[in-house]
Amino acid sequence: MKSQDALFGAAVVALAVSAVPAAAQDGAPTMQEELAVMRAQMHAMSQRIATLEAELENARDTSQVAPAGSVPVPVPVPQTQIAFAAAPEIEGQNGWSFKPRGRLQFDAGAVNVPDGTGRDEGFGNDIRRARLGVSGDMPGGFGYKFEVDVANSDLSVTDAIISYGTGDIDVSIGQFNNFQSLEELTSSLHTSFIERAAFTDAFNFTRRVGVGVEYSPGDLLVQAGVFSDNMDDLPNDNWSADGRVVYLSKIAAAQVHLGGSLHYREYETDNTLQYRQRPLVAFTSERFINTGAFSAISELSYGVEGAVISGPFHAVAEGYWQNVDRPGALGDPTFFGGYAEAGYFFTKGDTRGYKGGKFDRTKPASPVGEGGIGSLQANLRYDRLDLNDKGVLGGTQDGYLVSLVWKPTDYTMLLANYGKLSYSDAVFAAAGGDTSYDVDVFGVRAQIDF
């Protein structure tokens, strides 16, 4: 042992030093006698060291065994865990969790309109979304989510939800997106174009305050809810009921989505509606199709939706019909919106994300920073919106759109869009009074989220 060797060395040095003057005196013992004495002393010292080491080891063993009848002292175990993906998620005991969340989307581009319309054109840009919020779980199966959008210095609440889940049933109370369409329910973080399909904005899809129930046994998803209005517009007497059913299943290696929805909305007395839409991008305020304000009692609408995801390829289509009940002898128009889209990933191993009856996050198989270039996807879309019927002349818009989406990592995205919007019965006439013409739009988006 190291301690024993050190003591031996020290003893040898001490005895040797003390022996030098003694040997110089007359009548001192012989060298052989001195060496014998030294050996005996070193042997005794070695025995003593061995005894002390044995006693020390025995003391250590005894200290690790609790005496009979004593109460063991519990070893503290950490009760809080912090995981980190794009943001820290704190998980405590008994089901508590807390996670900050947010997104930032910056858009820029250009709009080119025909001569003579008098509409603004050229470069435009906008902070499309700047959201901050929190979400998490609470004991007993409860959860929460709260987000605000601070884009352009305007503070507005997006989601404000208290939820409860048990088995296949989830209940949500608060302000959230109604159960209206695949395109609308897909987060703006995961859409394949810079804006959603034209009908979702034109028909005033928005978050509303209410209660919703979701039932998801296996390959079936059933959603239903009753709502009032967006909290910015309350109080009023408006109310609506929404229902959506989706069949979502894996067939071979493909994800299949088939769904339908039905909606009824009733308005308070003397209410007016207006349906209109921008040309693809939100950084222009121009709307070339517009019904203008007209009186309405209620809306009855229904939609169909279908999608398939197979490896790098996906296709999706939706149709939505909006019937308006007008007072008195006025005709009740039915307006239409819909789109068809196909997309493909050029990067190996990448596919479009899907979860819970809507498109979800695309996670690059080889992200930047881990030896790859991220995911690269191209998409084509035809987008139709018809606001002409029963005496209402709002115009029609046919969009021919292409997008290129690059995701360097799971939580970053750069997106480029081009769109040719073909109008008939446009509300602004071009040179010579023509109301049928094209508008060209180019837009890009830089996005991060956590």
Same domain, 48 and 108: no
pLDDT in tens, 190-203: 999 999 999 999 99
Instruction: List, for residues 329-342, the tens digit of each pLDDT value.
Output: 999 999 999 999 99
Find all residues with CB under 8 Å of 350, minimum gap 6, and list them. Answer: 312, 362, 364, 365, 375, 376, 377
Total domains in the fold of the chain: 2
Are residues 321 and 230 part of one domain?
yes
Average pLDDT of the residues of the chain: 89
Rounded distance between C-alpha atoms, residue 71 and residue 78, angstroms: 21
Query: Which has the closest alpha carbon to 236: 275, 274, 201, 272?
Result: 272
Question: What pLDDT does 266 receive?
Answer: 98
Residue 366 lies in a domain: yes
Residue/partner pairs of 231-234 with CB below 8 Å, 24 or more apart: 231/157, 231/160, 231/175, 232/156, 232/157, 234/209
Same domain, yes or no: 258 and 331:
yes
Mean pLDDT of 278-296: 97
Residues 6, 124 share a domain: no
DSSP class of residue 94? G
DSSP class per residue in 18-33: HHHHHHTSTTPPPHHH
Judgement on whether residues 289 and 358 belong to the same structural domain of the protein: yes
User: Has residue 58 got a pLDDT over 50?
Assistant: yes
6 shares a domain with 117: no
Q: How confident is the model at residue 29 (pLDDT cuts 50, 70, 90)?
A: low
User: pLDDT per residue over 213-251, tens digit each?
Assistant: 999 999 999 999 999 999 999 999 999 999 999 999 999
Judgement on whether residues 125 and 273 belong to the same structural domain of the protein:
yes
155 lies in some domain: no
In a domain, 410, yes or no: yes
Q: Residue 65: is its pLDDT beyond 90?
A: no
- pLDDT tens profile 419-439: 999 999 999 999 999 999 999
Tell me, yes or no, whether 396 lies in a domain: yes
**How confident is the model at residue 83, as a pLDDT?**
82
Percent of the chain whose pLDDT exceeds 70: 87
- Per-residue pLDDT, 78: 57
Query: In terms of domains, do 11 and 113 share one?
Result: no
Q: pLDDT, tens digit, for every residue of 122-181?
A: 999 999 999 999 999 999 999 999 999 998 778 999 999 999 999 999 999 999 999 999
**Among the listed residues 214, 199, 403, 384, the one whose alpha carbon sits nearest the alpha carbon of residue 314:** 403
pLDDT surpasses 80 at 313:
yes
- The answer to whether residue 69 sits within a structural domain is no
Share of the chain above pLDDT 90, in %: 78
- 328 pLDDT more than 80: yes
Asked if residue 343 belongs to a domain, the reply is yes
> Which pTM does this prediction carry?
0.80
11 pLDDT exceeds 60? no
Q: Which domain, by its residues, includes 300?
A: 103-131+188-449
Do 257 and 370 share a structural domain?
Answer: yes
In a domain? residue 146: no
Given 52, 71, 91, which residue is the final one in a domain? 52
Is the predicted pLDDT of residue 20 greater than 90, yes or no?
no
Question: Are 126 and 40 in a shared domain?
Answer: no
CATH code at position 347 = 2.40.160.10
Q: Considering 32, 52, 72, which residue would you say is the last residue of a domain?
A: 52
pLDDT at 218: 93
Q: Is the pLDDT of residue 76 over 90?
A: no
With a cut of 90, say whether residue 66 has pLDDT above it. Answer: no
Domain boundary among 17, 33, 52: 52
In the predicted structure, residue 52 carries a pLDDT above the cut 80 = no
The top-scoring range by mean pLDDT among 28-37, 111-120, 336-345 is: 336-345
The neighbouring-strand residues paired with 378 are 344, 404
Q: Say if residue 45 is in the same domain as residue 192.
A: no
d(CA 360, CA 382): 22
Task: Provide the pLDDT confidence category of residue 82 given band limits of 50, 70 and 90.
Answer: confident
Contact 193, 340 (CB under 8 A): no
Same domain for 192 and 308, yes or no, is yes
Asked if residue 438 is part of any domain, the answer here is yes
Q: What is the pLDDT of residue 31?
A: 64
Beta strands in 252-345 (DSSP E): 254-266, 272-273, 276-277, 289-290, 294-295, 298-310, 313-325, 334-345
Determine contact, residues 152/127, Cβ cutoff 8 Å.
yes
pLDDT of residue 15: 38
| Residue found by looking up tokens 């799971």 in the block | 410
